[in-house]
Amino acid sequence: MKEPLDPIELQEPLWERQSGESSEWYRRFCRVRNQIGARSVLAAYRQEFEEKGGKGRIPRRVPGSWERAREHFCWDERFAAWDVYQQEKEDQIWTDRLNELREKGWDLYELLSSKAEAMMRMPFVTQTITSSNGGNISTIMATEWNQFRVPLLMLKLAMELGYEAIGDNNKALTLLTRQGFQVVDPTANLDLSDYLEEGNELDLKIN
C-alpha cells in the first residue's frame, strides 16, 4: 500500500492547474469540480471507466490512486474555492442587472416628472357659462379640475420609480431635493399652488 503524499502548496487561483499536477489528474479534478449537484469522485471514476471501454462490473469503490491524488492536490479545498468564485460571478451578474434596472427606473422618473411638471404649470382651462333668468344675466367661470388628474398620477408614478431606483425613500427625498426637483408625497394632501396661476386655489387629494 502506497503512502499518501503530503498536500501540495497551492497557488492562486486554486481551481486552475497546480504545479506538479499532470494534465490527466487536472482533467479528473475538473470532471469532479464541474459536476452538477453533489460532487462524487466515484461517479467521475465510473464515467472515465466507461469511456475507456471498461468491462465487467461497474466499479463500487474509488481506486487508491484517486484518493491519494484527491488528498495530494487538495481537491476539496479547491472545490470550495471554485464554488465561492462561481457564486461571486453569479452575484455580480445580478448586481449589474439590478443596477441597470435602477438606471432605467431613474431615467423614467426624470422623463415622467419633467413632463408632469410642465403639464402642472399650464394655466387653468376655464369655461364661461352665461344664463338669463327673467331678464337677469349671470356669468359662471367653471374650471376644468380634471386637467390635473393625469399629471398628478404621473407625478405619483414618477416618485415611486425614483424610490425604487434609489432603494431608500429617505435617500430619494434628499437626492431629489438636492437636484432641484419638487418632491411630492403621493400619500399626502398636495398643495399645488406653485403650479397654478396667481389667485387660483385648488384642494385635491390623491388616494
pLDDT value at residue 156? 80
Q: How many helices (H) and strands (E) does the chain have?
A: 6, 4
CA atoms within 13 A on the CB side of 111: 7
Average pLDDT for the chain: 77
Q: Could you read off the pLDDT of 180-205 as tens digits, one per residue? A: 544 444 444 444 444 444 434 333 33
How far from chain centre, in Å, is Cα 46?
41
Q: Going along the chain, which residue ranges are E strands?
A: 126-133, 136-143, 189-190, 204-205
Cβ-contact 78, 29 below 8 angstroms: yes
Print burial letters for 34-73: b (CB count within 10 Å at least 16), e (below 16).
eeeeebebeebbbebeeeeeeeeeeeeebeeebeebbebb
User: In the numeric block, which cell numbers belong to residue 172?
Assistant: 430619494
Highest mean pLDDT out of 3-7, 28-32, 133-137, 162-166: 28-32
Q: Do you find a cis peptide bond into 151, omega within 30 degrees of 0? A: no
Q: Which residues contact 35 (CB under 8 A, 6 or more apart)?
A: 43, 44
Cβ-contact 183, 141 below 8 angstroms: no
pLDDT higher than 70, residue 99 = yes
| Domain boundaries, given as residue ranges, for the chain | 106-205
Cβ-contact 124, 155 below 8 angstroms: no
Structure confidence at residue 124 as a pLDDT band (50, 70, 90)? low
Considering only 48-52, 77-81, 124-128, 145-149, which range has the smallest mean pLDDT?
Answer: 124-128
Task: Identify the residue with better confidence: 121 or 33.
Answer: 33
